[in-house]
Amino acid sequence: MHFIEGAGTVDQLPVDALVGPCRVVEFDGPRHISAAWLEQADIPEGTERILFKTRNSERWREPVKPFDRDFVALDRTAARWCVDRGMKLVGIDYLSIEPQGPEKEGYPTHKMLLGAKIVIVEGLDLKDVRPGEYDLACGAIKFEGGDGAPARVFLIER
Amino acid sequence: MHFIEGAGTVDQLPVDALVGPCRVVEFDGPRHISAAWLEQADIPEGTERILFKTRNSERWREPVKPFDRDFVALDRTAARWCVDRGMKLVGIDYLSIEPQGPEKEGYPTHKMLLGAKIVIVEGLDLKDVRPGEYDLACGAIKFEGGDGAPARVFLIER
């Protein structure tokens, strides 16, 4: 319901997406994550939950700074790649997963991911997290009828 | 800070308490859980997180019903037992862990548990949870300076 009228609300998010194995992937580019980059990033087949650690995470050293549109996001090709790979949850380390600027028109990243019922997690602070495999527990509050909710997110080392 | 002035706030809860092995124990008595009952409940030494499933959980079939003071809680002897056993987290399946009535005077259960830095989780719906061993992830929202917070709580089967 965050971007698609009449669609699911945050209290209905499947627990199956919120809890389970998760890969943290580091992206060191200056601008958006694309399918071409993902293709060569050695992400194992069968990965269902993925969090992207980017230069955005450095922002959390000053969490009170105003919203800054110059952040790394997922472009529409990356969103399509996540859908094609059967992802259940995709997270990013700034306040939106959508590229800002002209490519934002129509919100293709949000609509592609949410249209495939992929849970989007925004605002993650990954600056002290090493890339690798974890078990994720994404504790999204069940706001009845909400289109989003705060979440406490744990990555558990194996 | 929920009951002890100047004490810790909810954003400082130790992750070490919020995440880890957890035992769900069923209590079938009509009134409060006591140390005497806990002594004979076969709770393994080394248990650090415990959730009590009681007749309270049946209340969640009608979650909009008004607050009902006739619920099962932990009496002061049970709170002391939890402290002596070195618990890190204690949860109950109704809106308070404190017995209502004359024994509430001074809030001994809250003060004993919180004084020992034990995390209290209230309002759990355990009606569909089987007693036993799980891995817990208690996703309490980090409200800066808060004396409490909503939490999404997962019990993960092994």
- Record the pTM: 0.95
Model pLDDT for residues A117-139, shown as the tens digit of each residue: 999 999 999 999 999 999 999 99
Q: Which among A32, A30, A57, A36 has a CA at the least distance from the CA of A131?
A: A57
> Which ranges of chain A does DSSP label H, i.e. alpha helix?
15-18, 35-39, 76-84, 108-115
Q: Which residues in chain A are contacts of B142 at CB distance < 8 A?
A: 152
Instruction: Give B157's pLDDT tier (boundaries 50, 70, 90).
Output: very high
Model pLDDT for residues A81-105, shown as the tens digit of each residue: 999 999 999 999 999 999 998 878 8
Are A152 and B154 inside 8 Å of each other by CB?
no
- The per-residue pLDDT of chain A, averaged, comes to 96
Whether A58 contacts A127, CB under 8 Å: yes
Q: List the single residue in B with minimal CA-CA distance to A15.
A: B154
pLDDT of residue B14: 96
Are A140 and B152 inside 8 Å of each other by CB?
yes
Q: Which among B81, B113, B86 has a CA at the least distance from the CA of B97?
A: B113
State the CB neighbour count (10 A cutoff) for residue B139: 24
Question: What percent of chain A has pLDDT above 70?
Answer: 100
Whether A130 contacts A24, CB under 8 Å: yes
pLDDT of residue B104: 80
Q: How close B141 comes to chain A (CA, Å)?
A: 5
Strands A89-92 and B19-26: unpaired
Give the mean pLDDT of B75-96. Answer: 98
Predicted ipTM?
Answer: 0.93
Instruction: Give A111's pLDDT tier (boundaries 50, 70, 90).
Output: very high
Model pLDDT for residues A59-72, shown as the tens digit of each residue: 999 989 999 999 99
Q: List the single residue in B with minimal CA-CA distance to A140.
A: B152
pLDDT of residue B138: 98
CB within 8 A of A100, min separation 6: which ones? A69, A70, A71, A73
Question: Cα separations (Å) of B143 from A60, B9, B33, B151?
Answer: 16, 8, 31, 11
pLDDT of residue B19: 98
Give the mean pLDDT of A142-156. Answer: 96
